């Protein structure tokens, strides 16, 4: 399955060191992967990713990803007011 992966801030160097694109490049992974499983597959600890957008919507980490999904990973440290406005606090 192919996803299109973006990562922000402190998450980028980790992916760059693995040769994984983080600016919307295609990423191939197994079918029926949850967002939480993707985070682990990318080599992150779950707490290193505070929230995520899938197809421009904040979703829970239990969300099952589908072919062609656009995934954006958000690290901890996003200012509190933005976390509330974006919905990360409720859905992480």
Where residue 81 falls among pLDDT bands split at 50, 70, 90?
Answer: low
What number is the average pLDDT over the span 54-77? 93
User: Do the bridges between strand 51-54 and strand 70-74 make them parallel or antiparallel, or are there none, so unpaired?
Assistant: antiparallel
Pick the CATH number of 2-91 from 2.60.40.10, 3.40.50.720, 1.20.1070.10, 3.10.20.30: 3.10.20.30
Contact 65, 33 (CB under 8 A): yes
User: Is 90 a residue whose pLDDT tops 90?
Assistant: no
Domain-wise residue ranges, the chain: 2-91
Task: Please state the pTM of the whole predicted model.
Answer: 0.86
């Amino acid at each position: 399955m192919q996803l299109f992966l973006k990562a922000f801030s402190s998450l980028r160097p980790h992916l760059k060191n693995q040769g994984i694109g983080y600016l919307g490049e295609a990423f191939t992974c197994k079918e029926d992967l949850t967002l939480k499983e993707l985070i682990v597959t990318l080599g992150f600890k779950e707490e290193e990713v505070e929230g995520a957008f899938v197809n421009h919507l904040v979703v829970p980490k239990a969300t099952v990803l589908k072919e062609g999904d656009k995934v954006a990973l958000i690290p901890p440290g996003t200012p509190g007011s933005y976390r509330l406005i974006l919905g990360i606090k409720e859905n992480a």
